[in-house]
Amino acid sequence: MNRIKTIAIDDEPLALKLITDYIRKTPFLELAGSFESPLAALEYIEAHPVELAFLDIQMPDLPGTEFARISRGDCRFVFTTAYAAYAVEGFRLDALDYLMKPFSYEEFLESANRARSRIMPAGADKEAHIDADSDFLFIKSDYKLRRINLDEILYIEGLKDYVKIYLHREDHPLLTLVTMKQLELKLPAGRFMRVHRSFIVNLKRIEIIERSRIVFGKTYIPISDQYKVAFQSFVDKNFI
């Protein structure tokens, strides 16, 4: 079983011990560290891969909300606090969940499972399936599976744990729970290309390129420096 590397941050020793005990007894979580000092935790996650943090909001040295704002890397957060007033601020920071103190192990486990569904690759892998020789994929969107022909895809936009798939002759994109990296690995490389951290395009659907941007109707998709060489190579091969 893949386990999520997890840390706990709380300036109250008893609260910290409770959370770390909960993490240890949860099979899909791996306790990577526990910290009474948010500054020490911040230093740790900048040097080590951490996927999830149970983070207290009210801490004197550095409030949890500020910790989440300034932290770097891919760590996601579940906020813990005794004050419900902080919930709105937590969700503005894209918190995975919010636990009100005191909370039981059952409540903790429910929260951990919600976080797991957003973090674990295995969970997202179920949302999009495609064989190398297939011309279609199945996407889970709006609680149903929909078959999508690859040729109908214009471009794909990444939004953290979700992607938007824009289709030919459809006004609204499909929204599905899968990461850009996972979807990119499943799409045929000769037909689709990542041109930006947030965009994958269908090469067959490109009609206009303008000033390092791909134009789809009124949408301008930037070609970032990281992908510019590969995209220019594609253009050169098809240039007359």
Task: Note whether residue 130 is domain-resident.
Answer: no
Select from 119, 149, 171 the last residue of a domain.
119
In the chain, the number of structural domains is: 2
Residue 125: the pLDDT is: 41
Q: The domain that contains 104 carries what CATH number?
A: 3.40.50.2300
Residue ranges for the chain with pLDDT beneath 50: 87-91, 122-132
Task: Note whether residue 126 is domain-resident.
Answer: no
Same domain, 9 and 114: yes
Q: For the full predicted model, state whether its pTM sits above 0.85.
A: no
Residue 128: the pLDDT is: 47
Which residues constitute the domain of residue 218?
A: 136-238
Same domain, 11 and 106: yes
Cα 16 to Cα 35: distance, rounded to the nearest angstrom: 8
Q: What is the pLDDT of residues 155-198, one digit of tens each?
A: 999 987 789 999 998 989 999 888 887 788 778 878 899 999 89
Task: Note whether residue 210 is domain-resident.
Answer: yes
Same domain, 92 and 170: no
Same domain, 12 and 56: yes
Task: Note whether residue 192 is domain-resident.
Answer: yes
Same domain, 183 and 227: yes
Peptide bond between residue 27 and the one before it cis (omega within 30 degrees of 0): no
Same domain, 108 and 152: no
